[in-house]
Chains A and B, each alone.
Chain A
């Protein structure tokens, strides 16, 4: 009788659809790596101002270095050299990490000393080996540019000051999220988005345990880990500098010796050389190092090759990167 009645049919149909929608979230399987999505709630004008500042060499003492000098947006967000070169050709002490997806990092810098991008942006300007400037001087230089300060005041009523400048830069950096990576498409159900090798590589990445540190939307960037947790990397490399101390330099806690922020692997295919000391040039070698010192085990070459092909599918697109 129920089936004969058209109203009851429609009614039952609607109820069924509601229940399907309620039951849907239960059926989705959780993967340790999540899809990257475009950031929301960003102020477009502030992002544009931040971009200008990011390319602005006036942030350095002698107007020779901008943020972009070391974080080349077209090169994957870093400078592809072992140790970056700052003002007056001075060498830094650590490898420049990529700015892409840096908004997703839970802390900034290799040792995580800056909790936010704003605070991070304060550092390099006054660092003698990077930009070597003095903030009040930089602000004065920027304020002298009437065109720029007029535009700046429309977004920041208080005008150009240290807080607003770093906020604008941070806002721009937060917009540097690389989306639509082949692997993201694969996670979204497009089975043909990545090669069979890459698919197997992802399973190996999980199986060997790489995923226990490199996980989340950024494939890393959400925890600290000791570099050489199983076998001592630094004993083998030798020549230990202050930069190798990692978080120990901040906390003076023995457990934090050689502990660094686990970097995001999203742009790993474009950010050679690798590690905080830039000691390794190829991705394959970097995987070898990870297996030896972080996992403490050996693996067949073909497995490592597959992991490398998986890592290459993680890079997404951004209009600055193309």
Chain B
């Protein structure tokens, strides 16, 4: 668990680093343009030098643009912020004076350039002035536009109060009517200002101011307040429009471009070369950047994959933990799972090796008995010739017997043939040969029986029976195999009846007992012991076979349930024993696990599920 935690920590930190790296790249690309193409209008990267006159021209251009934009943007905001506008002015001023002293304005500079520079300087000065005037006018117009309606309303209110009074001049003289008319005119002017309208309005406003002198103090003040706001608007509206035009003046930008173009033409070859070099450098930089981004994304994908893997592993281990805490017999469960796993993997991956191993085993198993048969057949074949010869001789003898003169000869020949038969010892060997041939045939039959059992084609009837009784039967049957030098310890618990094939189960136990006996014989311990334990657990019957035989190493322990796997000499076993056991256990929905140590012994555990008898 600790090991895996460290792995998770590592994976998590890698993912974190990758995310941070991605963020870094994101900001890099955000802060600096990826390629200089988008920035081509700004000449600066190629000969960027603050003191270079052309870069000064460029800076001036961008500053005047920025300040006019800032000026215009204040008109759209609730609170004007002129700090932003004025921040550019000192820089513009110094740039302008520096440009005047620069080499562009020197005696050696071409006339056209000097002329353009002069225009630029004048336009910049005009631009600065326009921005100054904009601030002043904007603040004034903004104020008066806000207060003109208020002053007009107070004037109307006062005139209404005055209407009944004797000295009411404003209503009776038609002055109020004129004011109302003027207000409409003024609103029209504000919407569509023109010089003619401006002059008319200022004339009428002047006459109004004159007439206000003759009015009572209060109403005169109100009227004068209204006219003064109106004057501000009338006088400043047109200049304001002019200023806005001047701020957005394209001439400055045009002259800037003119100078830069001219200067670019003037650039010498060496400078162009230097530019090219720098461009190549920049391109390679952008290449690096692209590589960095690609690498970054790859790393990020890897990180995401690592995260997913991590989550998956975390999930699996979590489930495992839960399972293990539920069951008491931890080791057994683990083994069962491992067993299951190995079955899953071998059934898919090692099918081919099964087949090849099966073929090898089968040919070997069949070859041995067939060898017996064929070699003995040869013997029989060659001996049949001898027998035929003897028969021929006896035939001759039969004829010769009729002729008494030849009796002596016959006796000689008979004794000769008896001698040949005796010398060949054919008669002595014959039962042996037949017995050998029988063994061969038996082996083949046994093999076919095993195969049948393994393939499951031999379907036995199922019945209810007690496993303990079954084991006792097996022990009785194999008492000869076990012999007297091996001690058998039985530790049986009370078991519920088991539903299954009695014959097959008997075979399992027989196989296991035989295996144990073999293992003990091979391991040669001072006292061979086989211990058989049965335990009843809820829903499970547990049978354990223990022996202190030779055991097997862990490498082979994984393979013991594979068919045709054997550690014994080829002639001694088919390698199907435990495979059949495993197959039968699986047929009964049970599980089997082996735990063994080389030289110490083997423990085999089988778990059978308990069925409900009523069903």
> Residues of A with Cβ closer than 8 Å to B?
1-2, 4-8, 10-11, 14-15, 18, 30-32, 34, 106, 115-116, 206, 209, 211-213, 215-217, 222-226, 229-232, 255, 259, 294-297
Binds A, one of B133-141, B172-180, B252-260, B455-463: B133-141
Question: Lowest 10 A-B CB distances belong to which pairs?
Answer: A7-B12, A216-B83, A32-B79, A223-B135, A106-B86, A222-B86, A212-B139, A222-B82, A229-B140, A231-B228
Q: CB distance B12 to A224 under 8 Å? A: no
Task: Note all chain A residues with C-beta closer than 8 A to B232.
Answer: 229-230, 296
**Could you name 14 residue pairs across A and B whose Cβ atoms are closer than 8 Å?**
A5-B12, A5-B314, A7-B310, A8-B307, A15-B19, A30-B79, A212-B79, A212-B139, A215-B82, A222-B135, A230-B143, A230-B229, A296-B144, A296-B232
Distance between A157 CB and nearest chain B CB, rounded to angstroms: 20
Q: Given A211-B79, A212-B80, are A14 and B228 also a contact pair (CB < 8 Å)?
A: no
Q: CB distance B79 to A206 under 8 Å? A: yes
Task: Note all chain B residues with C-beta closer than 8 A to A7.
Answer: 8-9, 11-13, 15-16, 310
Cβ-neighbour of A222 out of B11, B85, B150 (below 8 A) = B85
Residue among A2, A11, A217 with the highest chain B CB neighbour number at 10 A: A11
Task: Note all chain A residues with C-beta closer than 8 A to B13.
Answer: 7
Q: CB distance A215 to B80 under 8 Å? A: yes
Q: CB distance A14 to B16 under 8 Å? A: yes
Instruction: Using CB atoms, name the residue of chain B closest to A221.
Output: B86
- CA A15 to CA B18, docked complex, whole Å: 12
Q: CB distance A295 to B12 under 8 Å? A: no
Distance between A25 CB and nearest chain B CB, rounded to angstroms: 15
- CA A231 to CA B133, docked complex, whole Å: 19
Task: Note all chain A residues with C-beta closer than 8 A to B311.
Answer: 1-2, 5
Interface of B (DSSP majority class):
helix
Does B142 lie at the interface of the complex (its beta carbon under 8 Å from any beta carbon of A)? yes
- CA A211 to CA B139, docked complex, whole Å: 9
- CA A2 to CA B307, docked complex, whole Å: 10
Task: Note all chain B residues with C-beta closer than 8 A to A11.
Answer: 12, 15-16, 19
Beyond A215-B79, A255-B133, 18 additional pairs, beta carbon < 8 A: A5-B12, A7-B11, A7-B12, A11-B15, A34-B83, A222-B86, A223-B86, A225-B136, A226-B136, A226-B140, A230-B140, A230-B144, A230-B228, A230-B232, A231-B225, A255-B137, A296-B229, A296-B232
B505-529 contact mask (Cβ, 8 Å, vs A): 1 or 0: 0000000000000000000000000
Distance between A32 CB and nearest chain B CB, rounded to angstroms: 4
Cβ-neighbour of A217 out of B83, B93, B140, B310 (below 8 A) = B83
- CA A34 to CA B232, docked complex, whole Å: 29
Task: Note all chain A residues with C-beta closer than 8 A to B81.
Answer: 30, 32, 215-216
Q: Given A34-B83, A215-B80, A215-B81, are A209 and B142 also a contact pair (CB < 8 Å)?
A: yes
Q: Given A212-B139, A231-B224, A231-B228, are A116 and B90 also a contact pair (CB < 8 Å)?
A: yes
Q: CB distance A297 to B12 under 8 Å? A: no
- CA A18 to CA B86, docked complex, whole Å: 34
- CA A8 to CA B228, docked complex, whole Å: 69
Task: Note all chain B residues with C-beta closer than 8 A to A226.
Answer: 136, 140
Task: Note all chain A residues with C-beta closer than 8 A to B82.
Answer: 215-216, 222-223
